[in-house]
Structure formats: structure tokens, C-alpha cells
Amino acid sequence: MISLMNDMSLKVVKFGGSSLADAGQMKKASDIIKAEAERRYVVPSAPGKRFSDDIKVTDLLYKCYGLAEKGEDFCAVLAEIHNRYKEIISGLGLDFSIDDEIKTIEENFRKRYGSDYAASRGEYLNGKVFAAYLGFKFIDAAEVIFFSEDGSLDLEKTNKSLRNALDGVEYAVIPGFYGCGADGYVRTFSRGGSDVTGSIVAGAVKASIYENWTDVSGFLVADPRIVDDPVTIRTITYTELRELSYMGASVLHEEAIFPVRSAGIPINIRNTNDPSAAGTMIVPDSHEDEMSAYTITGIAGKKNFSAINLHKDRMNSQIGFCRDVLDVLAENGICIEHMPSSIDSMTVIIDSAHMEGKQDDIVTQIRKRVDPDDIYVEEGVALIAVVGKGMCRTRGVAARIFAALAHARINVKMIDQGSSELNVIVGVNEEDFEQAIRCIYDMFVGSSLN
């Protein structure tokens, strides 16, 4: 037996739903795991889509439990789920049965164990099957990952439990996505939470690296649905990743970096279908020597924002003006995204969905609170984030962004840049969103490739 406390070369590997969707994909994952002895702890997701019109097992489980909650017959859907796993087991050539597990799930659905329990069974069953195929020990996540009463992860208790459970265990499978709530019932993370489980395990055992295997070869500099064949980001820092994830880049669950960040454990995003590709390495912010090959690291953006524009002469001398505006938004349960301002005006950018049904009331409340000379709401705003640690060391980055947009005759609605110079946020009309991203990409990356 190997003590994990004394082995700093071990790797934690997580495989997403597309990587374990069927027996063929599971065989690929197994080959990857067994190619390196250091890949000792495996975190599987539930089986994902096998083809474009397929249904993920997790969605089938939600559907199944929804019928159970209504008191309707759910056996046909449960049988469909059972058959998915039987096909995988048969394809792997395993002498293994989950019949008893399916019976237990049926009983617990009838007892209304909750939607979290239902959703978690995809990972639980896949973990059972994959552990049997690999010959690894299966460890139920509900016995080692714990949530506090407020629903947040109890990291101290979880770390202690994981270390105890894995110490002396050379190879193990710990299913992703769920743990145990303070009430003793199964609780899940948000969708995509298997990424978080992998990070938790890696942090607890002080892994040398956390490999996250999915269906893409890492992060791309821009969205491939907008930019043709964008280049892969080879190295990105935790902070850069947070900025891009916030603006819509979604290869990794945004909460997955925290358990490994404090320990300085890098995350490697890899492609199960192309294991020879290096993928993207997510590294601590202190790794200054591992910079992007380009001035920028990535571009990401989102649509469906609204801008509340206010103007008032001598606004700067009215104490508490900005605070009062923000108080109105807070009282209406609205978070702000950005707040650019000038001496006599300010703009508050918010998610349009949060304004639904509230816009007229909010405008009225702001008028009463601060009595602006003018106030109007502008909808259809898109935000684009240009992110990169190299930007602070390069002169003229903002000028090049605006030159690219000007050349394409795209009007800039808003500009926001933090003091760290890590990113520049640009607001444009939604109809200009895709073209703006393509222009910025061509300016910083495309021109370098020609």
C-alpha cells in the first residue's frame, strides 16, 4: 500500500459525461488511466449524450423522479436508465449487475428521497460500473464529501474524511457531483459539479495535478461558434480563468478552481478523444514564466444586458448619489455587473433577466431617491471581456481593441478596465456582438498566425 501523505506524484483524474457516455468511451478513459500509474483516483460523471439527439442520464433521472413526485408511473423511464447501464456493462464484457441498486433507487423514489438524490444516482451507478471495470475500490461520495447546514461545502470535514478514506488505498473511484447534506440526505452541487468533486479530491490528497478529461482539447481563445478554428490556450492562470468563466467560457465549472487554488495544484484540461493533445494547463497566478503566446489570453462575452443611464448636473457633489441608486437595485434583488461613470453621469449594467417585470418600478424608485435630470434604460447590450496577464506589460492594448472595432464600424457603448489591467470590458449592441469578437481575435491572434 502507498500512503497518499507521502506520495506527491499522484494524479486525480475526472471524466465528463461525454467521456463516459458508452462502453467505447469508457474503454478510452480506462486506457488513459492505466497509461500512467500516477493516475490513482478517478472521479466519473454520469453518462452523457452518445449522439446529438440523445438524452443525458441525469436528465432521465430528473424526468423519472418528476413522475414519482406526481404519483405517476415512472417504471418505464427507470427501465430506460437501467438499460443504458446494462448496455455499458455488456459492452465492457463485465460480469456485474446493478439490479439491486436499481431496486433501491425505485424504493427511494417512492419514498420521495428528493431530486438531489435522484440526480446523483447517475454518477453513483457510473462510479460502481467504472470501478468494477478498472478493478479500483469504489468510495461513495456521500460518505466522504459533506455540506454544511447553509448548503456550502464543509471543506474541513470533507478533507479529513477523504484523507482517512484514501490513505493506504492505491486506486479508487469517487463519483462526482454529490455528497452528504447536514441533514444526512444526499445533496448535489450545481450542474457540472463533478468538476468540483475532482478538485476537492485533488486538494484533499495534495495531488501533483488534477486532470479534467472532457470532449475538447482545452480552453480556446474564443468561442468556436463565433471564430473559425480558434487556437487553444496552452496556459492560463486561475485569475484569468475566473474572468473568462464569468463572461461565459464554460469548459470547467467556475467553482472547481477553489479547492486546488490555495494548494497551488494545477488543473490540466484534456481531451478523452485526443489524449496526445497537451490541452490547457491552469496554473497559480504566481507562474509568471508561463505566459500566453499572445498579448491576450482569451476573449469571452455574453448578451442580454441592460444599461440604466443617469445624468444629473453636479452629481459628483451630491453625497451618496451612487449609493442611493445601488440601494434601490439591492432592495429589488438586482446585482450589478459594471458601473462606468463620469462627473455628471453614471451607467449601471445589469442582467436584463433580473429586470423583467421590475423595470418601470425601478426607474420610478430611482427618480424618487436621487431626482436625476435624465434617466433611461437601454436594452440589447452585449459585454465582451478581453483577458490576459500580458496586457499590463504591453502598451496600446486598449487602443488596438478600439481600432479593431472602429475599423469594423462597431460602436462602443461602454468601456471598463480594472486597476489590475487584467481585462478590458467592452459594451456593444447585441447585433454587433459576434463581429466584435471576430475583430478583436483577428487583431491579437489572427494577425500573428498569418
Nearest Cα to Cα of residue 149 among 180, 120, 108, 177 = 180
In order of 16, 359, 380, the CA distances from 355 in angstroms are 35, 5, 13
**pLDDT tens per residue across span 200-241:** 999 999 999 999 999 988 899 999 999 999 999 999 998 888
Q: Cα dihedral angle (422, 425, 431, 435), rounded to 10 degrees?
A: -30
* Cα–Cα distance for residue pair 315/344, rounded to 1 Å: 5
- Give me the residues of the chain with pLDDT under 70, please: 1-8, 286-293, 418-421, 447-450
Residues in the chain: 450
337-372 core/surface letters (b: 16 or more CB in 10 A; e: else): bbbbeeeebbbbbbebebbeeeeeebbebbeebbeb
Give the end-to-end CA distance of the chain in Å, rounded to a whole number. 54
Predicted confidence at residue 1, as pLDDT, reads 43
Angle at 353 between CA 347 and CA 354, to 5 degrees: 65
DSSP letter at 34? H
**pLDDT tens per residue across span 419-450:** 666 889 999 999 999 999 999 999 999 766 65
Which grid cell sits at 407? Answer: 475599423
All structural domains of the chain? 8-215 (3.40.1160.10), 298-449 (3.30.2130.10)
380 contact partners, CB below 8 Å, separation of at least 6: 429, 430, 431
Q: Cα dihedral angle (230, 232, 238, 240), rounded to 10 degrees?
A: -30
DSSP string of 80-119, one letter each residue: HHHHHHHHHHHHTT-----HHHHHHHHHHHHTT--HHHHH
Contact between 78 and 85 (Cβ < 8 Å): no
Predicted confidence at residue 294, as pLDDT, reads 77
309 contact partners, CB below 8 Å, separation of at least 6: 345, 346, 347, 374, 375, 376, 377, 378
Which grid cell sits at 432? Answer: 454587433
Beta-carbon-side half-sphere exposure of residue 242 (alpha carbons within 13 Å) = 12
Residue for grid cell 448619489: 321
Q: What pTM was estimated for this model as a whole?
A: 0.86
Angle at 384 between CA 381 and CA 387, to 5 degrees: 160
